[in-house]
Amino acid sequence: MKKAVISGVRQVELIDAPVPKPKEDWVLIKVHAVPLCTEYKGWLAGQPYGGHEAAGEVVEVPQPCSVQVGDRVVVMPQFPCGSCALCISGEYIHCQNNYDYQAFTGNEGDADTHVQYLVKPARLLVSILEGMSYELASLACCGLGPTFGALENLQITAFDTVLITGGGPVGLGGVVNAKYRGASVILTDPVPYRRDKAKELGADLVLDSQDPGVLPAIMDYTESLGVDAGLECAGAVEAQRLCIDAARTRGHIMLIGECSDPLPAEASSDFIRKGISLTGQWHYNFNGIPRIMEVIQNSPVVSQLISHVLPLRQMQEALEIDSQHQSAKIILKPWE
Ligand SMILES: [Zn+2]
Ligand SMILES: [Zn+2]
pLDDT at 246: 98
Q: How far is the CA of 252 from the centre of ligand 2 (A)?
A: 28
Looking at residues 243-272, what average pLDDT do you find? 97
d(CA 293, CA 144): 10
CA angle in degrees (0–180, nearest 5) for 139-24-335: 40
* Structural domains counted in the chain: 2
Range of the structural domain that residue 170 is part of: 145-280
Q: What three-state secondary structure class fits 17? A: coil
Checking if the pLDDT of 49 tops 90, the result is no
Q: Is there a single domain that holds both residue 239 and residue 266?
A: yes
Predicted confidence (pLDDT) per residue in 284-318, tens digit: 999 999 999 999 999 999 999 999 999 999 999 99
Looking at residues 221-244, what average pLDDT do you find? 98
Domain end call among 259, 280, 301: 280
pTM given for the model: 0.97
Q: How far is the CA of 214 from the centre of ligand 1 (A)?
A: 29
Q: Name the band, by pLDDT with cuts 50, 70 and 90, for residue 48.
A: confident
Q: How far is the CA of 76 from the centre of ligand 1 (A)?
A: 10
Q: Is there a single domain that holds both residue 135 and residue 116?
A: yes
Checking if the pLDDT of 321 tops 90, the result is yes
In terms of Cβ atoms closer than 10 Å to its own Cβ (0-12, 13-18, 19+), residue 126 is: buried
Q: How far is the CA of 203 from the centre of ligand 2 (A)?
A: 37
Q: How far is the CA of 143 from the centre of ligand 1 (A)?
A: 7
pLDDT at 17: 96
d(CA 7, CA 221): 47
Predicted confidence (pLDDT) per residue in 88-113, tens digit: 999 999 999 999 999 999 998 899 99
Q: How far is the CA of 124 from the centre of ligand 1 (A)?
A: 15
Q: Is there a single domain that holds both residue 68 and residue 79?
A: yes
pLDDT at 109: 86
Q: How far is the CA of 92 from the centre of ligand 2 (A)?
A: 6
pLDDT at 181: 98
d(CA 4, CA 12): 7
Q: Is there a single domain that holds both residue 51 and residue 134?
A: yes
Q: Is there a single domain that holds both residue 171 and residue 247?
A: yes
Of 47-56, 141-150, 273-282, which gets the smallest average pLDDT? 47-56
Q: Is there a single domain that holds both residue 19 and residue 42?
A: yes
Q: What is the CATH number of the domain that holds 303?
A: 3.90.180.10
Q: What three-state secondary structure class fits 173? A: helix
Mean pLDDT of the chain: 97
Answer yes or no: are the C-beta atoms of 81 and 97 closer than 8 Å. Answer: yes
Q: Which ligand is nearest to the CA of 98?
A: 2
pLDDT at 50: 82
Q: Is there a single domain that holds both residue 47 and residue 150?
A: no
Predicted confidence (pLDDT) per residue in 179-221, tens digit: 999 999 999 999 999 999 999 999 999 999 999 999 999 999 9
Q: How far is the CA of 90 from the centre of ligand 2 (A)?
A: 9
Checking if the pLDDT of 144 tops 90, the result is yes
What percentage of the chain carries pLDDT values higher than 70? 100
Could you tell me the CA-to-CA distances from 192 to 57, 170, 207, 237 in Å, in that order? 37, 16, 10, 21
Q: Is there a single domain that holds both residue 104 and residue 131?
A: yes
Q: How far is the CA of 283 from the centre of ligand 1 (A)?
A: 9
Q: Is there a single domain that holds both residue 200 and residue 250?
A: yes
Q: Which ligand is nearest to the CA of 40?
A: 1
Q: Is there a single domain that holds both residue 218 and residue 198?
A: yes
Q: How many CB atoms lie within 10 A of CB 332?
A: 26
Looking at residues 67-73, what average pLDDT do you find? 98
Q: Is there a single domain that holds both residue 134 and residue 204?
A: no
CB neighbour list of residue 95: distance below 8 Å, 6 or more residues apart: 78, 80, 81, 84, 86, 87
Q: How far is the CA of 90 from the centre of ligand 1 (A)?
A: 18
Domain end call among 236, 262, 280: 280
Q: How far is the CA of 91 from the centre of ligand 2 (A)?
A: 8
What percentage of the chain carries pLDDT values higher than 90? 98
Q: Is there a single domain that holds both residue 115 and residue 39?
A: yes
Q: Name the band, by pLDDT with cuts 50, 70 and 90, for residue 116.
A: very high
Q: What three-state secondary structure class fits 233? A: coil
Q: How far is the CA of 222 from the centre of ligand 1 (A)?
A: 32
